[in-house]
Amino acid sequence: MAAKPGMRVAGIAELARVEDRISFLYLERSVIHRDSNAITATDERGTVHIPAAALGVLLLGPGTTVSHQAMMLIAESGSTAVWVGEHGVRYYAHGRSLTRGSRLLDAQASLVSNRLQRLDVARRMYAMRFPGEDVSGMTMQQLRGREGARVKRVYAEHSRRTGVPWTRRDYNVEDFLGGDPVNQALSAANISLYGVVHSVIVALGCSPGLGFVHTGHARSFVYDIADLYKAELAIPLAFDLAIDPPLDIAGETRRQLRDVLNGGKFLKRCVTDIQGLLLPDETHLPDDVDIVELWDEDAETQIVESGVQYRETKR
Q: Can you spell out the DSSP letters for 170-204?
A: ---TT-GGGS-HHHHHHHHHHHHHHHHHHHHHHHT
Q: What is the model's pLDDT at position 263?
A: 64
Last residue of a domain, one of 70, 94, 118: 94
Backbone angles phi, psi at 198, to 5 degrees: -60, -45
| Residue 227 assigned ligand-binding role | yes
Q: Give the total number of structural domains in the chain.
A: 2
Can you give the pTM of this predicted structure? Answer: 0.69
**β 293-295/303-305 pair status:** antiparallel
CA neighbor of 99 nearest in space, from 304, 314, 268, 288: 288
Q: What is the model's pLDDT at position 9?
A: 46
Give the tens place of pLDDT for each residue, 141-177. 999 999 999 999 999 999 999 999 999 888 766 666 6
Residue 44 within a domain: yes
Same domain, 80 and 182: no
Residue type, 222: V
Same domain, 39 and 152: no
CA distance 294 to 137: 38
Last residue of a domain, one of 94, 129, 145: 94
| Residue 106 assigned ligand-binding role | no
DSSP string, 294-310: EE-SSSTTSEEESS--P
Q: What is the model's pLDDT at position 227?
A: 94
Q: What is the model's pLDDT at position 291?
A: 45
Residue 290 within a domain: no
Distance of CA 254 to CAs 89, 260, 261, 263, 279, Å?
A: 11, 10, 10, 14, 32
Q: What is the model's pLDDT at position 278?
A: 95
- Indicate which CATH number applies to the domain containing 118: 1.20.120.920
Q: What is the model's pLDDT at position 100?
A: 60
Last residue of a domain, one of 31, 59, 94: 94
- Strand ranges across the sheet with 80-84: 22-27, 55-60, 80-84, 91-94
Q: What is the model's pLDDT at position 264?
A: 61
Same domain, 242 and 114: yes
- State the residue range of the domain holding 41: 12-94
Angle at 33 between CA 32 and CA 39, to 5 degrees: 85
Q: What is the model's pLDDT at position 14?
A: 43
Same domain, 171 and 72: no
Count other Cβ atoms within 10 Å, centred on residue 163: 9
Same domain, 111 and 255: yes
Segments of the chain scoring below 50 in pLDDT:
1-16, 18, 286-291, 306-308
Same domain, 180 and 213: yes
| Residue 49 assigned ligand-binding role | no
